[in-house]
A and B are shown apart, each in its own frame.
Chain A
Amino acid sequence: MSDIDSDPRALRSRPGEAAPGAEAELLARFREQVGRYCPAWLHDRIDDIVQDAWMRLKRAQERNERNRDPGSSLIAKVAYCATVDEIRRRQRRREVSVEAAGDSLVTREVAPDRAASAREVGSAIRVCLGGLLPNRRLAVTLYLQGHTAPETGTLLGWTLKRAENMIFRGMADLRSCLVRKGVTP
């Protein structure tokens, strides 16, 4: 067995005891993570989100002595939460224009008529999902989100065989439902 990467006591050192520039480094790590999660239409808010994330971490550190030196997982989670909260605030305020709102994770080069067609199919999928058996609905939802069968099994506590089976049967049900609705994806 090899060595420990970090002395566990060092993991809990206070920022005040850290080397100069540690906070700047922390902000840089937040910027990198926020940049990973921030959609293009929100890029003008990256600085604000980074600042928000940094403040959240500070508050958490004040509440919890053990959070004095965050790991990469915590940095990523705080950056994600700050970004999604900002997305939700924007959505609530309806600040996003119709054009900007289209700048989602979906490819931007899609022609308007094809985008409208995709949304129509998407709406049908959403209705059909509601009619699937519960476990098949879970499996197909994760599949449509881009998860593999092994990931689905891990997330839902299923064996790989069961995950594959649920995806296969659920996708067959989904196709049948779409056909019944006259939707051809």
Chain B
Amino acid sequence: MTTHDALPERLRRAFASLDEDERGEGRCPEPGTIWDAIHSRLTPEAVGGVVHHMASCPACAYDWRIAMRSEHRVGGAKGASPAGSAKPRGAFRTGLVAAAAVILGAALLVVFHSGLPTDVGPVYRAPEQETILSLVPEHDSLPRENAVLRWSPVSDDARYTLEIDTLDLTPVARARDLSTAEYRILPEALEGLESGEVIVWTVEARSIDGRRIKSKAFRHRIR
């Protein structure tokens, strides 16, 4: 790791080293609000409000880092390292072009020496989608007798786990090992919900190679 690569990590450690009992200006958000923010259960504006406070409040920054241990949070299951993610895409693309040039050169060298026909070269697939999007329009309310959730499929072999809760995290329904990117909520599961009540749903895809992708939380009213 170069000095430059290590810089973000040193900055993170320095930011985390501030006394966690030192409060910032203004009222600290309740723990439940921090939890909801990090689990994308608030509007982006409300999340922004919490983060804005956290920038000047080491105590709330500490509480936020504790919430990051949650396996339910956005990105929580993946454990991806943030290092390097701040690089502009241009640098990434430059790297890709260089890598492609090396691969192409190596492939040409092999073809030249082996005399293999060029039509048996490697097949390159487009990168698979790394996010799951809801295919239900964001502001649509769902009829309780036919509440169908749809999302963008990840791959042909993916299996999906779906969690549907109310805003207070009461489970409404769970479905596992779904092979298609849609699910109809049984009307019985919605019996206890009042008209206009909001459900929150997330879906996690698991590919046959073990790769997991989790969606953000989507909300819809039940009518």
Is A174 positioned at the interface, with any CB of B under 8 Å from its CB?
Answer: yes
Smallest Cβ-Cβ distance to A142: which chain B residue: B51
Contacts of A130 in B (CB 8 A): 55-56
9 pairs of A and B residues whose beta carbons are closest in the complex? A157-B44, A8-B189, A121-B14, A71-B171, A84-B31, A91-B21, A118-B17, A74-B169, A151-B75
Is A69 positioned at the interface, with any CB of B under 8 Å from its CB?
Answer: yes
A65 to B33, CA, bound (A): 23
Residues of A in contact (CB 8 Å), total 78
Of the A-B pairs whose beta carbons lie under 8 Å apart in the complex, a sample of 6, sorted by A's number, is: A5-B176, A91-B21, A106-B16, A123-B18, A126-B15, A155-B38
Is B129 positioned at the interface, with any CB of A under 8 Å from its CB?
Answer: no
Contacts of B179 in A (CB 8 A): 1-2
B11 and A168: CB pair below 8 A? no
Chain B interface helix/strand/loop/mixed: mixed
Is A146 positioned at the interface, with any CB of B under 8 Å from its CB?
Answer: yes
A164 and B20: CB pair below 8 A? no
A144 to B40, CA, bound (A): 18
Contact of A104 among B16, B165, B188 (CB under 8 A): B16
Is A9 positioned at the interface, with any CB of B under 8 Å from its CB?
Answer: yes
A185 to B32, CA, bound (A): 34
- Contacting chain A: which of B78-86, B96-104, B107-115, B139-147? B78-86
Residues of B in contact (CB 8 Å), total 83
Chain A interface helix/strand/loop/mixed: helix
Smallest Cβ-Cβ distance to B164: which chain A residue: A8
Is A49 positioned at the interface, with any CB of B under 8 Å from its CB?
Answer: no
Contact of A155 among B12, B40, B174 (CB under 8 A): B40
B192 and A87: CB pair below 8 A? no
Contacts of B40 in A (CB 8 A): 154-155
Given the interface pairs A122-B15, A126-B56, the reply to whether A66 lies near B192 with Cβ below 8 Å is yes
